[in-house]
Chains A and B, each alone.
Chain A
Amino acid sequence: MKLKVMKQQSLWWSISLLIILSGLIAMAISWTRPDIKAPLRPSLDFVGGTRIQFELDCAVANNCDQPVNVGTVREVLDKQGLGGSSIQVVGQNQQAVSIRTRTLNVDERTQLQTALSEAVGKFDAKTTQIDTVGPTIGRQLFTSGMLALIVSFAGIIVYMSFRFQFDYAFMAIVALFHDVLVTVGMFSIFGLLFGTEVDSLFIVALLTIVGFSVNDTVVIYDRIRETIILNPERHIDDIVEDAVNQTLTRSINTTLTVLLTLSSIFFFGGETLKNFALALIVGFTMGAYSSIFIASTLLAWWRRRNGQAIPALATSAPAIDASVSSEDA
């Protein structure tokens, strides 16, 4: 198998643009939807509120005979003045209910719990889950997450400029933006289609995608750098194409092994990790894609544009080439 990445570069770029564009459209739609009002469907972590999950206590006789009835739960909530809350029946036998409301204080919560217990059946305290998050906490999470993203971008640029050259570092970051944008866009689409919410783990997932995807790009760039040193008289397009193909098996195998572990988390892991694993599956796949098709072609395009297409010639007169191209732009 030999990929002709350079010849088909406009194809790969269009594919990426198409995916990113549909993500952006989904984000715009989400923003205008009254029930979301944000580019992504935010979870409790970001908007604040209370989520309670109760499970019926099956040790009590006749308690678990019927699944939880959403109508009964809704009635109880309406009586408590919590009409707009979202109710979800969960659990393998539909014996658990997850309720998301505005922020409740202890007394309101206890009251709700007692009322629900009377209407639905006795709950098992050992499986109860309560999350109350103030809106300020969500803001803190968001800003610290964004800050972490920016700082890691800066760190990666500095390190790569030091180990490679600045244009490598810059194109690697462009590829990273691509991966982050695609993942965010996909989750916006999932949010519209399946009601998938993003929580604080989503920010963690984005940062992991950044780490992993740059890892992939670095391996290919490493090969390009090596080939350039060995064959400075070759054209950059040939060098890039060779480097991509030489590292292709490795890219595929590594992505495959990581996807194996991730899908095992997705299918067998706890409920909380499901969306996290999904985000990583999307992001890592896109990370591998962007390393092979985007980061490499962008680097070649940039060098061609700056008259560094043939490294041996470029090094002899870099200053003139650079000034000419900047006038073009």
Chain B
Amino acid sequence: MQRQRSLLALIIVLVIASIVTIAKVPVRLGLDLQGGSQLTLQVKPSENVKEITPRVMEAVQRVVEGRINGLGVSESVVQTVGEDQLLVQLPGVSDPEQAERVLGGTAQLDFRKQKPGTEAQLGVEFQVRQELQAKQAELQKQGAGNEAALAENQAAIKRSNAAIAELFERSGLTGENLQDASAEPAAASGNNWNVSLKFDSKGATLFADLTKSLAGTGRSIGILLDDRLISAPTVGVQFAQTGITGGGAVIEGRFSAEEANDLAVQLRGGALPVPVEIVENRTVGATLGRDSIQRSIYAGLGGLFLVLIFMVVYYRLPGAIADLALVIYSLLTFASFTLLNVTLTLPGIAGFILSIGMAVDANVLIFERTREELRAGKTLYRSVESGFYRAFSSILDSNVTTVIACGALFWLGAGLVRGFALTLALGVMISMFTAVTCSRTLMLLAISFPALRKTELYCPKVPASNQPQAGVTP
């Protein structure tokens, strides 16, 4: 009895904790439910880059992230999938065409020459952009709800970028001529880092010309990625005669290690003319998603309700107890979804609803056993106990096999499929817990009340000779 009481306490604590969790933590909804675009980008090898290495992927991912920031979407996700694919999720995106256009192109790295007489203006424009970007980051942190402000600010950033790009003229030197860029510690002082560049032979000539014309003028080289200025180094007066020759150069900017690496990755990204192709696009309108949530929730509740009625009608008191356990099961499962940060997709909801149906199975197994024992003339208490005891191996074996199938799905599947496998597997495991502990504890609790000890409540039509006396049960 002591054990029952502590189990009961545990169950109550778990139920309260789940209700609090469900109320406090919002569920993450998949794109199919909240609306938005999910794009899969295929990174393709090109003549210059014959193999897609993790280093290439890192650079491409950085470029894609930069472009998404340019779109002004909050809570976007960019993930590497497999060896050469990127998965981009853009929740609530209102203009999928624009997104597709922006993401599908190849990054353009361009080295430009600052126009004479624009020195003061560049400083001002740069300042403006910095402020706008800070504001954008702030807005994105606030999350959903201020799309209008985000879009407006985004437009301002775009204008600002265009204004800055206006101050430079093309030199003919582009990312195609850049062979490598990497961060390296500055020789002189401890914490400063530089970014070193390496050009091919044509690039080396162009770079020498560019630096020669700018050396000592105070005007800078504009390094632009997708028409956006990412760095504007100036060239020392000592290079005025020949320019920087040899195809190598170092951008010194008192960078931190992180900043230097960041710039190097951006440059490499721009230096990689790897074609990126959109191989999959799944866009769901915002209200369409809301509609499917609503209908799925109705379906879930409808299904649950039918099962609850069936259990009471067929199994009587144990059925009612199983219903209670089922409700507890639903609460625990849903709470664990939110805690484990499971993204709820439409198939995920299906998996959940399905697991409700399957959660009943364990209870059915137990109650059928209990009835058998009662019909065989055992006492109520013994029947209930052995019902649980003898059904356990069936419950274990049958659920483990389901979890094995889920494991295969999760391991080998992708996207939606994984969501389904995870929710179903979680559901099956929690259902084992609730069937074996909740139903059992509640059953034994029920038997402890003399009024609930009538055999008819458990099993109809037990032969009179077999009917145990209520008082005899321990």
User: Residues of A at under 8 Å CB distance from B?
Assistant: 55, 106, 109-110, 124-134, 136-137, 140-141, 144-145, 147-149, 151-152, 155-156, 159-160, 163, 200-201, 203-204, 207-208, 210-212, 214-216, 218-219, 222-223, 246-247, 249-250, 253-254, 256-265, 267-273, 276-277, 280
Contacts and interface: CB of A to CB of B under 8 A. Distances in A.
A152 B346 contact: no
Nearest to A261: B303
Q: Which of B97, B279, B304 has the most CB of A within 10 A?
A: B279
Interface string B11-43: 000000000000000000000100101001010
B350 A265 contact: yes
Interface string B411-423: 1111011001100
Given A131-B281, A132-B278, A268-B295, A254 B361 contact: yes
Interface in B378-419: 393-394, 397-402, 404-409, 411-414, 416-417
Most buried by B among A203, A223, A264, A277: A264
Contacts of B291: 270
A49 to B, nearest CB: 11
Contacts of B42: 134, 136
B372 interface: yes
A271 B288 CA distance: 11
A43 to B, nearest CB: 13
B357 A144 contact: no
A218 B398 contact: yes
Contacts of A269: 295-296, 299, 350
A211 B406 contact: yes
Contact of B97 (A110, A203, A214): A110
B302 interface: yes
A258 B358 CA distance: 6
B45 interface: no
Given A137-B40, A145-B413, A250-B364, A260 B299 contact: no
Contact of B307 (A215, A260, A265): A260
B371 to A, nearest CB: 8
Contacts of A163: 397
A152 B361 contact: no
Given A250-B365, A273-B350, A256 B310 contact: yes
Contacts of B413: 144-145, 148, 204
Given A253-B364, A258-B358, A126 B35 contact: yes
B253 interface: no
14 contacts: A55-B285, A106-B100, A132-B280, A144-B413, A148-B417, A155-B405, A210-B405, A215-B398, A253-B314, A257-B307, A262-B354, A264-B306, A270-B346, A277-B350
Contacts of A152: 404-405, 407-409
Given A211-B406, A269-B299, A260 B412 contact: no
A214 B279 CA distance: 37
A32 B221 CA distance: 64
A131 B282 contact: yes
A-B pairs with lowest CB-CB distance, top 6: A261-B303, A270-B292, A211-B405, A134-B279, A264-B303, A258-B357
A261 B306 contact: yes
Contact of B368 (A127, A128, A249): A249
Contacts of A204: 347, 409, 413, 416-417, 420-421
B244 to A, nearest CB: 41
Nearest to A155: B404
A272 B349 CA distance: 12
Nearest to B412: A148
A201 B302 contact: no
Contacts of A280: 354
Contacts of B283: 128-131
B417 A200 contact: yes
Contacts of B280: 132-134, 137
A222 B412 contact: no
Given A106-B100, A144-B414, A152-B404, A124 B361 contact: no
Nearest to A256: B310
Interface size of B as a range: 35 or more
A289 to B, nearest CB: 17
Contact of B424 (A131, A141, A145, A208): A208
B353 interface: yes
A218 B398 CA distance: 6
A134 B358 CA distance: 36
Contacts of B94: 125
B286 interface: yes
Nearest to A252: B364
Given A215-B402, A218-B401, A257-B310, A265 B353 contact: yes
Nearest to B295: A270
A151 B417 CA distance: 15
Contacts of B32: 272
B401 A215 contact: yes
B354 A261 contact: yes
B433 interface: no
A105 B421 CA distance: 32
Interface in B104-161: 104
A179 to B, nearest CB: 12
Q: Which of A55, A129, A254, A261 has the most CB of B within 10 A?
A: A261
B401 A147 contact: no
A110 to B, nearest CB: 5
Given A148-B417, A204-B416, A270-B292, 6 more contacts: A128-B288, A155-B407, A208-B424, A212-B358, A212-B402, A222-B394
A129 B288 CA distance: 8
Contacts of B191: none
B285 A124 contact: yes
Contacts of B393: 222
A109 B97 CA distance: 9
Contacts of B277: 134
A273 B296 contact: yes
A151 B407 CA distance: 9
B334 to A, nearest CB: 16
Given A218-B398, A222-B394, A254-B361, A130 B96 contact: yes
A260 B401 contact: no
B302 A218 contact: no
A2 B411 CA distance: 42
Contacts of B302: 264, 268
